[in-house]
Structure formats: structure tokens, C-alpha cells
Amino acid sequence: MPLLSVIVPVYNEVRTIGEILNKVNALNLDKEIIVVEDGSTDGTDKVLRGISYPNLKIIYHGSNRGKGAAFLTGLANATGEFVIIQDADLEYEPQECVRLMEVMRKNAADIVLGVRFTEKYHGLLIPRMGNRFLTIFLNLLFNVRINDFLTCYKLFRRETISSLGIKSPGFDMDAEIVTKALKKKMRIEQVPISYQPRNYAQGKKIRWLDGIHAMLAIVRYRFWA
């Protein structure tokens, strides 16, 4: 059994998927890499068919089902003691996974978040303001001090994430994971990470409508789910 399962949901990332997988594969960790190709239409699937590592699994969705659905497919095929989500673009540096693992093992946390809102953070104004608003909204509802619940980097024991019963097929998966963890009084550690945001011309997919869905998800999981 590998120590870490790195789950990489991917949709239309033909320009970056090869480089990000090379970076993940270079990590000095006992790991498996699980790529879930979520019905890309830009040739990402063709690039993936040319990549082969001994520790690489590639699973293909016949159509685009959403990031949450891709993550759940990856989780169902994971065998590692720990699980982390890795975006297929180049906004997040895979080497940060080593630091998150160190914190997880040292502090025996239930979840470790790699948080972006530090003094060095920069990015598009509207997404940055939206992220901050949603995080403040979550903090007020749960009376906590989370820095960045929408971060891609969430590290957990496989048994921990499986116990949460995550069902969201889309980007509101982030809200479901963190709110359910908070309701279960799980211990969440936060580690500052580097972040290199891309713009919409470079392929950024998050839109304002995703923010509305996330806010509604926070309310739903806080009071009803």
C-alpha cells in the first residue's frame, strides 16, 4: 500500500497535464498517482495515453461529470493511507505536498489545508475577493478561523475523507468537505503554500456562478445536510 494517493481530476488541460504529472512523479514520497480524465475535448486524453509511470493509474470518464465526480472516482480507486487533491494546471506546486505530509504526521491532524491567503498571495481581483467573501461567510456560520477553504490542496487520511460521505459532483465539493469536517469537530491544520494563479485566457475555469453554488452549499451543509 502506498503512503499517499495523489488524485488529479483533469478536464481540458492539454497544455499542462504532462508537466504537472512529471512534477508529481518527481516527489520524494511513496505514492500513487490517480488521474481521472473527465471527458476532455481538447486532446488531453491523447496526451495521457502517451504517459506511463509504474505508479500511475488513468481513469477515463466518457463525458464531463464535474471536478467533484472526478475526485470521487479517484477516491474509489485509491489505495494510499493518505489522499490529496492535485489540480491539473500549474497554479499549485506539487512539492508543497511534502510539507503538508510533514504537518499531518507531526500534528496528527484530520485534514491539512494548503492555504493561499498570505502576504505573498496575488491573483485576479474578482476571484480573490470572491474567495475571501466565501471564506469569511463560512467562518461566521461555523465560528472558526479558516484561511482558505476553497484551496485545492486538502490532505486527509483515506478513511477520514471516506467517512464524510462526499457526494457533490461539482466545485461545491470544497464546501461539502470542509463544512462536514467542521460539523464532525475534526482537527484542521493550515499550512501556507505558494500559488501561481492563471487568468481566464490561460484556461481558468472558476466563474461567478460557482461562487453562488459554493455559498448555497455552505448554508445547506451548515443547517440541513
> What residues are paired with 8 via a beta bridge?
35
Q: What is the CATH number of the domain that holds 166?
A: 3.90.550.10
Give the CA distances from residue 47 to residues 6, 24, 52, 98, in Å, rounded to whole numbers and listed in that order.
Answer: 19, 16, 11, 27
CB distance 96 to 74 below 8 Å: no
The residue written with cell numbers 491532524 in the block is: 109
Please state the rounded mean pLDDT for residues 163-191. 95
pLDDT at 84 over 90: yes
In tens, the pLDDT along 90-137 reads 999 999 999 999 999 999 899 999 998 776 655 555 667 788 899 999
Residues 6 or more apart in contact with residue 67 via CB below 8 angstroms? 9, 11, 38, 170, 171, 173
Per the prediction, the chain carries an average pLDDT of 91
Domain that holds residue 86: 4-223
Task: Give the whole-angstrom CA distance, residue 166 versus residue 70.
Answer: 12
Please tell me the total count of domains within the chain.
Answer: 1
Task: Give the whole-angstrom CA distance, residue 19 versus residue 90.
Answer: 8
